[in-house]
């Protein structure tokens, strides 16, 4: 079955960077894009960006431009999201999700990775 | 940026009753709208895409309708496992955006 498995929880200090991984299985990795979505504690969902697993093209949310980089390793069917210059308001659960066929819905989602930014 | 507004924020419903959730877009998103269900401590789950197409494995009691700026998710007869938070999301324009969510709670 299609599955996305993310890396484990992280605790970082303000100003540091975090890199979250998302390993895909059960489908042809390069046929579907990956999006990243985050959810601050008790809050709603925020789309962070999108990466084409076919050619590496990206589209990031403007508020994260310059701090976020999304990459893929097609040899291991793994997507990565790196966020730099972390602030306390970056504390959230970060999800990867497989994009729908040629469209922007998300199915399925990874289990989520909690990133805590605290001094 | 397209703003997605969901109403109501909280919906209190008895098991077996119908629930109707609304989602409004600040401008037309055609039929490029999805609905997700999220339970506490879990990742969201896709229910509906293309405004009205049920995702694989989603029970027929879930239905979506609408196009343009007004959308509705209907749960025809609420089951205990349906009490959760529901989000709409548009994917017609970058950046893709979510509504703030509707919590469906037991009355």
Phi, psi of A18 (to 5 degrees): -135, 145
Nearest to A39 by CA among A78, A107, A97: A97
Q: Which tokens hold the place of A70? A: 């999304």
Q: Which among B55, B91, B95 has the least Cβ separation from residue A62?
A: B95
Mind listing the pLDDT tens digit for each residue in A5-22? 999 999 999 999 999 999
The whole-number pLDDT of residue B58 equals 97
Mind listing the pLDDT tens digit for each residue in A29-50? 999 999 999 999 999 999 999 9
Mutate to test the interface with A, among B96, B98, B101, B102 (most CBs of A within 10 A): B96
Which chain B residue has its CA at the smallest distance from A62's CA? B95
Mind listing the pLDDT tens digit for each residue in B58-81? 999 999 999 999 999 999 999 999
SS3 A89: helix
Dihedral sign of CA atoms A32, B51, A47, B1 in order: positive
CA distance A106 to chain B (A): 7
Contact A45 B94 (CB under 8 A): no
Between the CA atoms of B83, B84, B88 and B94, what dihedral angle is there, to the nearest 10 degrees?
A: -170
Residue A112, CA atoms < 13 Å, CB-side half-sphere: 18
Nearest to B64 by CA among B86, B29, B35: B35
Contact B91 A62 (CB under 8 A): no
Q: Which among B32, B34, B98 has the least Cβ separation from residue A44?
A: B98
Mind listing the pLDDT tens digit for each residue in B27-55? 999 999 999 999 999 999 999 999 999 99
Q: Please tell me the distance from the alpha carbon of residue A96 to that of residue A90, in angstroms, as a whole number.
A: 16
Arithmetic mean of pLDDT, B84-95: 96
Q: Please tell me the distance from the alpha carbon of residue A82 to that of residue A92, in angstroms, as a whole number.
A: 14
């Amino acid at each position: 079955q299609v599955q996305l498995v993310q890396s484990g929880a992280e605790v970082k200090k303000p100003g540091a960077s975090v890199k979250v991984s998302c390993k895909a299985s059960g489908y042809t990795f390069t046929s579907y894009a990956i999006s990243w979505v985050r959810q601050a504690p008790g809050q709603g969902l925020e789309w962070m960006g999108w990466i084409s697993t076919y050619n590496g093209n990206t589209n990031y949310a403007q508020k994260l431009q310059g701090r976020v980089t999304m990459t893929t390793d097609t040899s291991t069917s793994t997507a990565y999201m790196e966020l730099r210059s972390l602030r306390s308001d970056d504390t959230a659960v970060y999800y990867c999700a497989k994009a729908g066929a040629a469209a922007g819905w998300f199915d399925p989602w990874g289990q989520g990775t909690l990133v805590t930014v605290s001094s | 940026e397209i703003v997605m507004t969901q109403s109501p924020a909280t919906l209190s419903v008895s098991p077996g009753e119908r629930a109707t959730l609304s989602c409004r877009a600040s401008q037309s998103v055609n039929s490029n709208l999805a609905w997700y269900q999220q339970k506490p401590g879990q990742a969201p789950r896709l229910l509906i895409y293309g405004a009205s197409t049920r995702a694989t494995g989603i029970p027929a009691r879930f239905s979506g309708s609408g196009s343009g700026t007004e959308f509705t998710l209907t749960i025809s007869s609420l089951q205990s496992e349906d009490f959760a938070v529901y989000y709409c999301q548009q994917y017609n324009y970058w950046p893709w955006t979510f509504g703030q969510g509707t919590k469906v709670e037991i009355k």
